[in-house]
A = this chain, B = another copy of it.
Amino acid sequence: MTAFSELFGEFDRRVLPNHMTDADILRLRHEAFALDLGAQDHAGFDNDEDHFVYVAKGAAKLVAYLSASREQIVAFGFPGEIIHVPGGGQRNFSLIALEPSELLVIPANSLLAASGQDCALLRLAIEQTMLALGRSRKNAIMLGTRSARERLAGFLLDMFERGSRPDDPPETIHLPMSRNEIADSLGLTIETVSRQFSEMRNLGLIETSGRSLVTILDWEGLAHAAGQMPVAA
């Protein structure tokens, strides 16, 4: 069993709906390809077309480049998630691995091409695109309305939801991205992020160990700091 077969098999089990026809699965198998990236490698695939990227192992960031210094991280991808990578539109997007990663790349056209009569692949594509839209809007709301404290607290809670691994100690998470990358995703500077870490440490909300291990000590306090919306109608 090749590496690709294993990878595609995992994708099939975890993402593809059960009722897919063999023809659809075979076509997808033919169009998709595996990508093994080292830390900071950027995924190089045909930039004219949209792609869906399934993250099997590791972690990745989708970056939009602006001026030389400032860049914005549009999305993170963790194992089991799918990132939508736009093709050559107006802006320059890149998918970059945060740590050694195994990815399965699926050209969007292979999902959009006519597929059987129940259009299972199209349905998969639209479902993933809508998920991406929801995440992007949530992100935009965060960037438009929240303070630095709220952003980092929300970020940490989000990372705990998405990034907990079987081998991590409970309540503890390994952040695969640097402070700089956290800053670029929250629309802040690295110094502000660092200061927020320190203050939240001093408040007894979290504990850190090394550069990337974070333990949540006070879940309620952290949720409060993230500025949860009251459940009013």
Contact = CB atoms under 8 A, between A and B. Distances in A.
Number of copies: 2
A125 interface: yes
Contacts of A132: 133
B89 A134 contact: yes
A118 B129 contact: no
Given A132-B133, A133-B84, A67 B126 contact: no
Contacts of A89: 134
Interface string A196-230: 00000000000000000000000000000001011
Interface in A136-184: 136-141, 143-145
Interface of A: 50, 64, 66-67, 70-72, 74, 84, 86, 89-91, 112, 114-115, 117-119, 122-123, 125-126, 129-130, 132-134, 136-141, 143-145, 186-187, 227, 229-230
Contacts of A187: 143-145
